[in-house]
Amino acid sequence: MSSSDRLSHFSLKQEAVTFEPSRHAGLQRLGQFKPRAGAHYANQRNFDLGSDNRSTVSGLSPWIKHRLVDEKEVLAEVFSVHDLSASMKFVQEVFWRGYFKGWMQQRPSVWHYYKSNLKLAFEGLERDLSRKADYVEATKGRTGISCFDHWCSELKSTGYLHNHARMWFASIWIFTLRLPWELGADFFLNHLIDGDPAANTLSWRWVGGLHTKGKTYLACPSNIAKFTEGRFEPIGQLSTTAEPLTEEVDHSLVPLMPVQPMPEGDFLLLITPEDCQPNTFIEAQPAGVLGLLPASNSHQSEKVQAFAQGAVADALSRFEHLTSPATATNNWVEHLVEATRLAGTTQIVTSLATLGPVASHLDAAKARLAEHGISLHQHQRTYDGLVWPHATKGFFNLKKKIPTVLTDLGFVMQ
């Protein structure tokens, strides 16, 4: 790292990010960040300067996760200031999200296997009280490893962690504390306001050596000291080895569903926390709009639920004359049947949800809605349709295709 790189984050003023669940706030943050999406991001992105200074990264993940601001808009804003070669590192990071989502969508057993092993891991804690105590101490940030304890409390108080802190945290969880990775992934999903089943599950698997088989990520004190600007240096506290985790199962590739055309005629638009901008690509006017979220589970933080609820409410506010408030419920069928009846239609259109709680609700609702004569259409964004087919193997395959995908999205590349 050159001395000018080193100086440049000091020369920026302290820059905390306030995560408000609105499109307006997401666009404001994008506008603030975009001048730095070129060389500054490439050189500084690994520095975690703490929650009161997010100047090295975009901090856009909570808005992108809920698609209050989507990937194409982020790329367009960045290209208004930088060309592709200058912003390549940032662009690649944006594509990592689509890579993980497309990869897991084509290997659904990874998600189902994680969910069933998570249940087993919780049951295992009841049989091993010493491990249970370690788990409780870890989730309360009382391990005595000060960086880990700090990130635990930062995660709970802000709903966000820097990427490097997530990697260090997951590595310490798996290799130093020797806790099951599924419990750590669950803890993240319950506290990250950008919590995404694909990005989170596959990142934890990547740290543990299950995604790129045999390749693990080991957190080490000198790397932590360097990239936290000396805030932490856990000498002698961390495991110095990282034996890859293994699993018996081979996750086979399941072809993506063919893209369905939009149905003809009137429809009810269903907005979920998976996509709070469906009006940007579903052009027809809906006959009614409904916003639904999965009911909060008892472990989910209030911040996570409040951001998701706020994001859906923000999306609904763009259809003022057509809507009722966003509802968090596990009884989707009843709400959908009633709203469809009120809208005078028998068709529901919603954005295609990838594996996770929203997709589970939609899958469960589909057959029951059919019994009421109501069809459910899940519409795929062009961006996802272009990215996911390249996410069958390692990221490198998608990385090679980035210029082609950008051209297909309508960007003019020099």
Binding site for ligand FAD (CB under 6 A): 45, 57-61, 64-65, 93-94, 96-97, 100, 163, 166-167, 170, 188, 192, 194-196, 199-200, 203-204, 207
In the complex, which residue's CB is closest to ligand FAD?
58
Between 45 and 72, whose beta carbon lies closer to ligand FAD?
A: 45
* Shortest reach from residue 6's CB to ligand FAD, in Å: 19
Between 51 and 200, whose beta carbon lies closer to ligand FAD?
A: 200
Sort 92 into a burial class: Cβ within 10 Å, 0-12 / 13-18 / 19+: middle
* Shortest reach from residue 257's CB to ligand FAD, in Å: 22
The answer to whether the beta carbons of residues 22 and 65 sit under 8 Å apart is no
Between 100 and 175, whose beta carbon lies closer to ligand FAD?
A: 100
* Shortest reach from residue 167's CB to ligand FAD, in Å: 4
* Shortest reach from residue 316's CB to ligand FAD, in Å: 23
DSSP string for residues in 51-111: TT--TTS---HHHHHTTSS-HHHHHHHHHTTS-HHHHHHHHHHHHHHHHHHHHHHT-HHHH
Sign of CA dihedral 246, 247, 250, 255: negative
In 3D space, the residue among 395, 394, 393, 413 whose CA is nearest the CA of residue 403 turns out to be 413
Between 40 and 379, whose beta carbon lies closer to ligand FAD?
A: 40
The answer to whether the beta carbons of residues 207 and 242 sit under 8 Å apart is no
Between 55 and 350, whose beta carbon lies closer to ligand FAD?
A: 55
* Shortest reach from residue 300's CB to ligand FAD, in Å: 13
Q: If phi over 0 gives left and psi between -120 and 50 gives alpha, with beta otherwise, what is residue 167?
A: alpha
* Shortest reach from residue 137's CB to ligand FAD, in Å: 20
Between 199 and 312, whose beta carbon lies closer to ligand FAD?
A: 199
φ, ψ (nearest 5 deg) of residue 25 = -65, -40
φ, ψ (nearest 5 deg) of residue 269 = -95, 125
In 3D space, the residue among 205, 208, 217, 210 whose CA is nearest the CA of residue 247 turns out to be 210
